[in-house]
Amino acid sequence: MSENSDGVAQVALFKGVGMPFELCEVPITNTANTVLVKVSLATICGSDLHTVSGRRGAEVPCVLGHEVIGTVADRTDICSVDGKPLGIGDRIAWSLTTSCGGCHYCENKNLPQKCQTMFKYGHAQGVGENVLTGGFATHIKLRKGTTIYHIPDSINDAEAVPINCALSTVVNGLQQIGTRSGETAVIHGAGMLGLYAACFLREEGYKVVAIVDKNESRLQIAKQFGATHTFNADTVSTEEIGTILKETTHGYGVDLGVEVSGAPSALPNLCGWLTIGGRCVTLGYVYPLDSVPLNLHQLVTKCISLKGVHNYHPHVLKSALSFIENNRMKYPFSELIGQTYPLSKINAAFEAAFRQDTIRVAICP
């Protein structure tokens, strides 16, 4: 048993909209059927902001934070998904969701990320011994059914931390809609997911990768991540963007649309910019919103394939780790992590994240 097993962990409790995070200490109890992890670094994801602002409901109290990596802190019988033992000190990344492997969605739909007994880290009510469930803490406890991988030594913590949410979600979504070398794409949203989508598509052989956002500094960063065209939706109209995209695609329109902004206008705009026979994947509407004015006539007459994707198949995490390992010298992934705050300053960290000065704000316990 390590020194941690009988120690205490510190967690930042989210207690409701408009209330500050509350730091508290909880005793650590661990068994061989769980994996106790010492958190190395966590980042504030857009979903965390949705929860804190009340756009998305949460059962409180709750330890938020699901973009997180750490090191194994105690002995465990659980192995990585590759069958390797998890030794104390090993750097690991894990799937956002657990799955049982036997329910209707796991077995018949190949959607283990929607498992009927699924548990989602950083989204659960934390009470009693089950409070170590989120990344904004010194420790997190992983359950059976979690897909765990060792992080390759070549990937540093800043590069690794958003892999298990932002990058895996993007890779899964793009694999689901299908990518084809030589195609053209337009991405709505130049946040973390949009930037990952841009470089992923370039590596898949996309010639044109346009990206749309209202934040000019994000659009500048997008150029470093392979975007060939950037459009500021505050200064260029939807129609003008459509005209330029048509000119860029020999008059046809774009082959692939990627919605990662969650903006109500995103999906209608993307469908308008697509070619006949175009495809569109939507990932950003992770909070309930009023009906979107989608032109269904256009959807039908342009023969558009539209696919919604939520969470990701846990095995995608391996592709995501490989993508960073293979492309880390080409794109400045670690620069996407801006200021890093200690856990004790989590309220200031969230204020910074809401200001959106940087792509990601990190918390290092």
Q: Which residues sit at the interface with Zn ion, rule CB under 5 A?
A: 45, 47, 99-100, 103, 106, 115, 165
d(CA 196, CA 201): 9
Nearer to Zn ion, 119 or 149 (CB): 119
Supply the minimum distance, in Å, between the C-beta of residue 266 and Zn ion. Answer: 18
Report residue 192: phi and psi, to 5°: -55, -45
Nearer to Zn ion, 137 or 233 (CB): 137
Q: Are 41 and 158 in contact (CB under 8 A)?
A: yes
Q: How far apart, in Å, are the Cα atoms of 127 and each of 10, 12, 62, 200, 231?
A: 14, 13, 8, 39, 46
**Beta bridge mates, 280:** 257, 306
Nearer to Zn ion, 231 or 312 (CB): 312
Nearer to Zn ion, 45 or 140 (CB): 45
> How many CB atoms are closer than 10 A to CB 360?
21
**Beta bridge mates, 236:** none
Supply the minimum distance, in Å, between the C-beta of residue 230 and Zn ion. Answer: 24
Q: How far apart, in Å, are the Cα atoms of 171 and each of 152, 309, 314, 365?
A: 18, 11, 11, 28
Supply the minimum distance, in Å, between the C-beta of residue 47 and Zn ion. Answer: 4
* H-helix segments, 164-295: 166-177, 192-203, 216-224, 238-248, 266-273
Supply the minimum distance, in Å, between the C-beta of residue 149 and Zn ion. Answer: 18
Nearer to Zn ion, 26 or 45 (CB): 45
Supply the minimum distance, in Å, between the C-beta of residue 114 and Zn ion. Answer: 8
Nearer to Zn ion, 108 or 291 (CB): 108
Supply the minimum distance, in Å, between the C-beta of residue 355 and Zn ion. Answer: 19
